[in-house]
């Protein structure tokens, strides 16, 4: 688990336990089936089909983040979270567990909440990525951000960007959601400070508001 800070972290773990062939097999099957192969992922799959591969060095990719098109170079194995934080200096999504359990890294991918630590940057090519920075500013917060402030639903605040992003994505897609449904939708986000009482008030306000986020 990483510590509570925003300093760039190396995205080069020492050991990779999954064989590249096994990874590409699984990766190809899953992404082709859903029809969501990004341009770089298609290049990767095409190279793999010929018995080759892209990488392990960096390859150029294009990400659309918060409405802006950004060019960057990453190794094909780099997660979206590391690409955002370490290459694009977008540090709203936090790296806490780095294994898909805490939700601190939540971003919206084509409007759907997703763990950016569990998605490759190359998979995100061609899709609209929204981070908490794209939801509002301190001067112009969205309704979820305002509700978090109003109900004091944070302590250290490290989990907050993930909660705000997940809640925004869910309420946008489900404007008539009940308090229970909103709470359930936030089940993939954990707060180590235990500010759930405040978040319950946020959920109650959002349920009453019915959309407009």
CB of 159 to ligand FES, least distance (A): 3
The one among 38, 131, 145, 195 contacting ligand FES by CB under 6 A? 195
Among 88, 90, 191, 207, binds ligand FES (CB under 6 A): 191
**Residues in region 71-130 near ligand FES by CB under 6 A:** 95-98, 100-105, 115, 117
Give the interface segment with ligand FES, choosing from 21-29, 36-44, 134-142, 148-156 (CB under 6 A).
148-156
Shortest Cβ 161–ligand FES spacing (Å): 10
Residues whose CB falls within 8 Å of the CB of residue 8, separated by 6 or more in sequence, listed in order: 85, 86
Q: Which is nearer to ligand FES, 100 or 212 (CB)?
A: 100
Per 3-state DSSP, the chain is made up of helix, strand and coil in percentages (nearest 5) of: 40, 15, 45
38 interacts with ligand FES by CB under 6 A: no
Cβ at position 160, least distance to ligand FES in Å:
6
Q: H-type helices in 95-159, by residue range?
A: 143-150
CB 129, CB 38: distance < 8 Å: no
Task: Decide: 202 and 167 in contact? Cβ < 8 Å.
Answer: yes
- Partners of 70 in the beta sheet? 63
Closest C-alpha to 80, from 35, 25, 40, 44: 40
- Site for ligand FES (CB under 6 A): which residue of 126, 136, 157, 175? 157
Q: Closest distance between ligand FES and the C-beta of residue 74, in Å?
A: 17
Q: Is omega for the bond preceding 56 within 30 degrees of 0, making it cis?
A: yes
Angle (deg, nearest 10), helices 160-173 and 196-209: 20
Shortest distance, CB of residue 171 to ligand FES, whole angstroms? Answer: 19
Binding site for ligand FES (CB under 6 A): 95-98, 100-105, 115, 117, 154-160, 191-193, 195
């Amino acid at each position: 688990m990483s510590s509570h800070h925003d300093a760039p972290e190396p995205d080069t773990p020492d050991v990779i336990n999954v064989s590249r062939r096994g990874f590409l097999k699984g990766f190809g099957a899953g992404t082709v089936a859903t029809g969501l192969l990004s341009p770089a992922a298609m290049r990767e799959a095409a190279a793999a089909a010929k018995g080759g591969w892209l990488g392990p060095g960096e390859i150029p990719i294009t990400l659309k983040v918060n409405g802006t098109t950004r060019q960057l170079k990453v190794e094909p194995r780099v997660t979206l979270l590391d690409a955002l934080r370490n290459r694009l200096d977008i540090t709203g999504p936090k790296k806490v567990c780095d294994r898909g359990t805490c939700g601190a890294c939540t971003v919206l991918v084509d409007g759907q909440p997703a763990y950016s630590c569990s998605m490759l940057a190359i998979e995100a090519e061609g899709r609209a990525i929204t981070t908490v920075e794209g939801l509002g500013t301190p001067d112009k917060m969205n309704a979820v951000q305002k509700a978090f402030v109003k109900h004091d639903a944070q302590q250290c605040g490290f989990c907050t960007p993930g909660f705000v992003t997940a809640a925004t994505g869910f309420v946008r897609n489900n404007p008539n959601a009940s308090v229970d449904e909103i709470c359930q939708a936030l089940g993939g986000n954990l707060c180590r400070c235990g500010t759930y009482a405040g978040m319950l008030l946020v959920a109650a306000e959002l349920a009453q508001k019915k959309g407009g986020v």
